[in-house]
Amino acid sequence: MGERTDEHGLADETLVAVNDAMIVLHERYHGRKPVTARTTMLGEDLLACLMGDIYTNVEKTMIELQRQSLVSETRSAFQHAMEHRFISSVELITKRKVARFISTTHVGPDLELELFVLEN
């Protein structure tokens, strides 16, 4: 039986592979896996990976001390510096070029959203 694809043409196996790659990258560079992760296509060109419970113990402590802006700024700078690794992983797995990469985090609930705008 062939691979099942979503309504936008990416195989379920491809979405799982991207999800797994995002978890691996998060664990490698932040020292822990997110507790939850889900990757899906939104339309024909937007690939989204939403990870939950992402912060390290140090970051959680800083957030408790009302320093969440510092945590957010540090995460943002790090994601910008590492975006080529995220992009190359998605391009390798999906066989599609990434036109834009957007990364953002949120506190309460603790979320990280990685968005990849794919070229057709």
In terms of Cα–Cα distance, which of 37, 46, 33, 43 is closest to 19? 37
In terms of Cα–Cα distance, which of 32, 24, 23, 82 is closest to 58? 32
pTM of the model: 0.88
Q: Where along the chain do its domains lie?
A: 12-118
Burial of 9 (0-12, 13-18, 19+ CB in 10 A): exposed
Q: Which pLDDT band, with edges at 50, 70 and 90, does 120 fall under?
A: confident
Q: What is the pLDDT of residues 39-80, one digit of tens each?
A: 999 999 999 999 999 999 999 999 999 999 999 999 999 999
Residues 59 and 57: their CA atoms lie apart, in Å, by 5
Residue 31, token pair as written in the block = 């020292």
Average predicted confidence (pLDDT) for the chain: 92
